[in-house]
Structure 1
Amino acid sequence: MKTIQKAFVLFLFTSLSAIAQQKITLEEIWGGAFRTQGMTELAALKNTNQYTVLNFDKESKTMQIDLYDFATLNKVYALVDSKDFKLLTGIDSYTFSKDEKKILIANNSDQIFRHSFVANYFIYDITAQTLVKLADYKVQEPNFSPDGTKISYAFENNMYLYDIATKKHTRITKDGKKNAVINGVTDWVYEEEFAFVKAYDWNLNSDKIAFIRFDETDVPEFSMNVYGQELYPVTERFKYPKAGEKNSLVSLHIYDVKTGETKKVNLDQYSDFYIARMKWTNEGNTLSAQVLNRHQDNLDLLFVDGNSGATKVVLNEKEKAYVDVTDNLTFLKDNSFIWTSEKDGFNHIYHYSKEGKLKSQITKGLWEVTNYYGFDEKAGTIYYQSVENGSINRDVYSIKLNGSGKTRLTSSTGTNVATFSPNFQYFINSYSSAKNAPKYTLNESKTGKTIKTIVSNEVLETKLASYNLPSKEFFELTTEKGNKLNAWMIKPKDFDANKKYPVFMYQYSGPGSQQVNNDWNASDDYWFMMLAQQGYIVACVDGRGTGFKGADFKKCTQKELGKLEVEDQIDAAKVFGTYAYVDKSRIGIFGWSYGGFMASNCIFQGADVFKTAIAVAPVTSWRYYDSVYTERYMQTPQENASGYDNNSPITHVSKLKGNFLLIHGTADDNVHVQNTMKMIEALVQANKQFDWAIYPDKNHGIYGGKTRLQLYTKMTNFIKEKL
């Protein structure tokens, strides 16, 4: 018996050792081995207590828009199945008409920039089960009129109207021209920095369309070579306003569907301004527009009369630094409205009358509202997401319109994201944490009680158990200067406090960003765990300027991007260097985009602290980046030359002592490869040795085919050789 027990113990020990030794590979990370299950294109309907999900059938290789019941989670039926229509080779995305009797389906999409694309669109009539192609050409941003009789869309920089009954196309604008005039969709910088593409909106009566016109004529043009497969490269040209350069001249127009006339809204009281948001209110003839000055520290919410075009300022927001633009503006039945603002130092929800008079501040506290979900008119209840349970976490709450009766609806610490049923009786909660893979549950909205699990990732969690992965430890790091910063650390699973480990730091650090957040693994997290398996400690610190800890913490970097953030990363590295188990001579840092800007500055300005740095697609001077983003935090180079130049990595290349790897894609329309080329030249002229890699025809994400695998193999090898 004892012999059998010994054999069993030996077997168990051997098995556990095998488990402990199972290693993550880059091929697994970038081959999708750790992909989670979710609910693709989850959309709550507005007229029935149901929701839809886009599903893919692997056997038939077809796609379905499936309808489910909120109360039971049972599938009602497939609204659309691509196998039933030869024309429908796939479903990329879909939107419903207001009465939810018709669906606009996109397929064969071609990406333009980060958010924009053109696609073939089809109109599906749910009752008649008929599919009609919208146009013989690919269009942008089609949208049903509220009465469901027409569809508006953009094509080749012009606005069009399609009558569903007659199948007639009417051209609304005629002056659209590439790199000159755009109607109804945004230019590059609006799309990237104000995060919207559809620059038009229908009023509730379906008789007017408001749209923004962009005159790009005087905006400087950027060009980049696309190498492709041909003998000669093709030059791609597009309008890109860099900091301090001319922006598009924007104007607001209202098209009358009945008369075919277009009127321009008089905004002559403004100069050099942005129309950051625009939408019709619940009064069919009143349009709202958010006009922002170029410094972005003054925002006017305008109400525009749809007939006369007369405007009045309903609400004004002023900030010493900048005003954040959101999509939270919501009009209630009486045309009073919900608004979010940082005016008391933290982002909170406010209720204003339709005249713009403050009725109440609904949420209050030293924490931030991070998402506004909606208002249940019947119950007088607002639903929102916030960081009240810690700035690295997200929870769902309800509160009465008068600010009473606040209830936390989610109980698990981590990241909770809600999708509410149309009558607000239920919500689907997506929950994850650094320890728990995403789980989708049906919850009751009054108390938050979980009714049923819809999707879990137990299979993935079981699979990952065999890797015996290290965990993310969250903590607050205090620098020598007394700055308290959120941080996490991943240590090797066989960590020994008596040993000395190299530290590899990761950060992004951009204004309002967050990398120290309690949610499930992204691809980089698996990479960091792989590095931990190979004997590295990986750490991340959110320095000053990052988000969700109040406006003062976020906006303290104003006019000096790269000063306090770099100071905090260097100071954090010094703190790590005091840990008994850290080899302070082997500290590295990595970042992408803004993080690449930071990693570059850290290896130069912190030359005695950092041994190694990797900078991917970095901004190397804010003079080379776009106007909207850069000037929001820096004003213009003409006004703030020292802020731009003193904190540019290019200024500090002569200080380089350690190992530096610089990476960029040549087709990066966002952070142009010009940034890297300028710094390469500065490094060469400073006679500094460094490593670099250029990826032909790859954009800011540097992906496609084996690209990510090759890139991360290169970075891994560099770390192993140089740190």
Structure 2
Amino acid sequence: MRIKSALALFILCCFSLTAQQKITVEEIYTGAFRAQAMDELFAMKNTNQYTVLNFDRSTRSMQIDLYDFATLKKVNTIIDTKSFPELANGIDSFVFSADEKQLLIANNSNPIFRHSFTADYFLYNLETKKLSKLLEQVQQPTFSPDGTKIGFAKANNLFTYDIASGKTTPITSDGKKNSIINGITDWVYEEEFAFVRAYDWSADGKKIAYIRFDESEVPEFSMNVYKKDLYPAVETFKYPKAGEKNAVVSLHIYDVTTGNTKTVALGNYTDFYIARMKWTNDANVLSAQVLNRHQDNLDLLFIDGTTAAAKVVLNEKDKAYVEVTDNLTFLKDNSFIWTSEKDGYNHIYLYDKTGKLKTQITKGNWEVTAYYGFDEKTKTVFYQSVEKGSILRDVYRIGLDGKNKIKLSQQIGTNSATFSPNFQFFINSYSSATQPTVYSLHHAKDGKQVQSIIDNSALAEKIKKYNLPNKEFFELTTEKGHKLNAWMIKPKDFDAAKKYPVFMFQYSGPGSQQVANDWLDTNDMWFMMLSQQGYIVACVDGRGTGFKGAEFKKCTQKELGKFEVEDQIDAAKVIGNYTYVDKTRIGIFGWSYGGFMSSNCLFKGADVFKMAIAVAPVTNWRFYDSIYTERYMQTPQENASGYDDNSPINHVSKLKGKFLLIHGTADDNVHVQNSMQMIEALVQANKQFEWAIYPDKNHGIYGGKTRIQLFNKMTDFIKENL
């Protein structure tokens, strides 16, 4: 009996060493595979230190902790919520004054759209340790440069608050919902130009520049909000769809001392965007980036703060569109660093204060993917690029003259950096498809590691028991000769003599990337789960995606969905010819732009794809917003065929396979109208399909157990139809 028990135990132990523990959707979407991170990592400006927002589970409190860059040791705790009952709800975000002696803390935040929110704000004095509630449910408060005042927005108007006197002074008074917005961007600017605060203090704090949006003529969009009420509420907001009227924007300079406001003369422009606005290092010179509606012509303006007169110092033109970034950096003499794709790849340039090109700092057939900053002392620029391969990221330093380039990151995968204020050190974040994110401290001079900070070894150890397969990276060549980045996940017990079904995932939007050598996200864990159930999962980045040069990215201009769909269909044909693939069982999935793509692929590639899942898809480009859509398509009035030929709603009659369509009713981005009209088109084409609508869920479709239910539904659909 003992011998048999021992033998059984031995067999069980051997089995457990090789068995693959099954992943569940519930685990994925309750955070079981979440990597440890450095939340709200913020490099200080005046001392060689950084802050991290930490959470103490034992006391259910939050701390803003200050650390030394050189030693990584905690210097002190700036504030701990357990000492302040007013912060019982925690710290949502925070911002320092320029001298870093005061802190604005956001609490009780209420989201508006993707980036915007209102919140209560508390002022914390780091010297007196005094906390006081200043502002209720306001937007985007910022300190004046001398720390004596705070600018903020509320109810579409701008104000200043004097800290010493407690006096609030209005800058504007004409703000009105769905009509006039001052100092805060409208929906489409927030979503597509990715900024919310549309005001800025001058370097001496004597002036505030702001953008005013007159959206009175912009068409309105309304959504029902159901909740659990007897009657649904209606949320109405301004949303300019492709070809419709945009908000009329104007630029203004407010004098804090006199209370007078001047309007910047932009009469030379019509139907334009102010894509960026910031003061230069010269307290009397404001910069603004003005784009035409086609977004293929950008002027960088310098504006006199006294007269409000504007002059063009730099012009960028592109046959497709000009990328807008936050990389504009002014040096002490007001010369500036700028990034541009003008030589066919995104690179860093130096211009003098008049806009004359001094030098192209980086060059080559590769892209700069992040600009980190400039060290005035050593005249050194720090950046991230894909020089070692478009699916990789490395950190570099280079002289302002474009010489003495040094690769600072050491490991192959995805590296990003946060530099110390004096550029002596940087915290490197590194991951790959096999390595959870690792944080470590490095010398900025040569990249040598000083010490480890977070290694996520616990997660790496936990992952081992699931015995996950590798994400295999490769280059796929279509029959037409297009070379495309791809990855594939095969079942761990893969047998090349068998035939497997293939589930393809993609996004495919302009400049995007899904094939990257970085750590697994929640989607990847779901794909790993599917591989455990006998599926091969594959992803291909087709033409139009990013980081392989402007020509590859911008070839889809005026025809979104043509070449991207062609590449997914062609890639599926290549994969279908692999000896271990069952070409009659290929499916495809995508979300947002990816949902637009998966719908199109199933319809246009009806003989290639057996099934598709489309989540929150654009089904007709005429329904989507002006800035994004027209950037790539111009207007429907100018390019009707580009809109109609590639919108899936016009190809429903070709449906042969199984189709699952999913949308949230509170999607302010890709409106549920897209799916409703697709549903009607499918019904009138007498096509059978499945669909799911998620009440009051936005573009992300999350909250409570929503993601668990959604991904279980999609898993079941795959198992039943692929």
Alpha-carbon contact 1:226-1:233 (below 8 Å) kept: yes
Letter in 1 for 2:684: Q
Structure 2 residue 700 is matched with structure 1 residue 701: yes
Paired position in structure 1 for 2:296: 297
Q: CA separation in 2, counterparts of 1:224 and 1:466?
A: 46
Paired position in structure 2 for 1:63: 62
Paired position in structure 1 for 2:484: 485
Report SS of the residue matched to 2:435: coil
Alignment of structure 1 residues 142-541 onto 2, 5 Å: 142-541=141-540
Q: CA separation in 2, counterparts of 1:522 and 1:34?
A: 9
Alpha-carbon contact 2:286-2:304 (below 8 Å) kept: yes
Letter in 2 for 1:667: A
Alignment of structure 1 residues 571-582 onto 2, 5 Å: 571-582=570-581
Q: CA separation in 1, counterparts of 2:374 and 2:429?
A: 20
Paired position in structure 2 for 1:555: 554
Paired position in structure 2 for 1:721: 720
Paired position in structure 2 for 1:618: 617
Give CA-to-partner distance per residue, 1:411-443, whole Å, 9 cap, x none: 101111100000000000111111100010000
Report SS of the residue matched to 1:190: helix
Letter in 2 for 1:96: F
Alpha-carbon contact 1:394-1:417 (below 8 Å) kept: yes
Could you tell me how far 1:148 is from its partner in structure 2?
0.5
Alpha-carbon contact 2:431-2:518 (below 8 Å) kept: yes
Could you tell me how far 1:7 is from its partner in structure 2?
7.1
Structure 2 residue 104 is matched with structure 1 residue 104: yes
Structure 2 residue 138 is matched with structure 1 residue 133: no
Could you tell me how far 1:324 is from its partner in structure 2?
0.2
Could you tell me how far 1:15 is from its partner in structure 2?
3.0
Alpha-carbon contact 1:63-1:82 (below 8 Å) kept: yes
Q: CA separation in 2, counterparts of 1:333 and 1:9?
A: 75
Alpha-carbon contact 2:20-2:465 (below 8 Å) kept: no
Could you tell me how far 1:719 is from its partner in structure 2?
0.1
Alpha-carbon contact 2:414-2:430 (below 8 Å) kept: yes
Could you tell me how far 1:390 is from its partner in structure 2?
0.5
Alpha-carbon contact 1:329-1:337 (below 8 Å) kept: yes
Letter in 1 for 2:47: T
Could you tell me how far 1:456 is from its partner in structure 2?
1.3
Paired position in structure 2 for 1:636: 635
Alpha-carbon contact 1:208-1:255 (below 8 Å) kept: yes
Alpha-carbon contact 1:121-1:134 (below 8 Å) kept: yes
Give CA-to-partner distance per residue, 1:183-227, whole Å, 9 cap, x none: 000000000000000001001100000000000000000001000
Could you tell me how far 1:13 is from its partner in structure 2?
7.3
Report SS of the residue matched to 2:636: coil
Q: CA separation in 2, counterparts of 1:538 and 1:74?
A: 43
Could you tell me how far 1:20 is from its partner in structure 2?
2.0
| Unpaired runs of at least 5, structure 2 | none
Give CA-to-partner distance per residue, 1:226-260, whole Å, 9 cap, x none: 00111000010000000000000000000000001
Q: 1:88 to 1:240 in 2, by over 3 A?
A: same
Report SS of the residue matched to 1:525: helix
Letter in 1 for 2:111: Q
| Unpaired runs of at least 5, structure 1 | none
Give CA-to-partner distance per residue, 1:256-306, whole Å, 9 cap, x none: 000011111010000000000000000010000000000000000000000
Q: CA separation in 2, counterparts of 1:559 and 1:713?
A: 37
Q: CA separation in 2, counterparts of 1:241 and 1:230?
A: 30
Paired position in structure 2 for 1:123: 123
Alpha-carbon contact 2:66-2:77 (below 8 Å) kept: yes
Report SS of the residue matched to 1:138: strand
Report SS of the residue matched to 2:436: coil
| TM-score computed with the length of structure 1 as normaliser | 0.98
Alpha-carbon contact 1:150-1:162 (below 8 Å) kept: yes
Q: CA separation in 1, counterparts of 2:627 and 2:50?
A: 37
Could you tell me how far 1:103 is from its partner in structure 2?
0.6
Alpha-carbon contact 1:49-1:423 (below 8 Å) kept: yes
Report SS of the residue matched to 1:438: strand
Could you tell me how far 1:14 is from its partner in structure 2?
4.6
Paired position in structure 1 for 2:541: 542
Number of aligned positions between the proteins: 720
Report SS of the residue matched to 1:464: helix
Letter in 2 for 1:529: M
Could you tell me how far 1:8 is from its partner in structure 2?
7.9
Could you tell me how far 1:21 is from its partner in structure 2?
3.1
Q: CA RMSD in A?
A: 1.3
Q: CA separation in 2, counterparts of 1:10 and 1:181?
A: 74
Q: CA separation in 2, counterparts of 1:222 and 1:467?
A: 47
Alpha-carbon contact 1:19-1:467 (below 8 Å) kept: no
Q: CA separation in 2, counterparts of 1:317 and 1:447?
A: 35
Alpha-carbon contact 1:380-1:400 (below 8 Å) kept: yes
Could you tell me how far 1:11 is from its partner in structure 2?
2.3
Which is further off, 585-594 or 8-17? 8-17
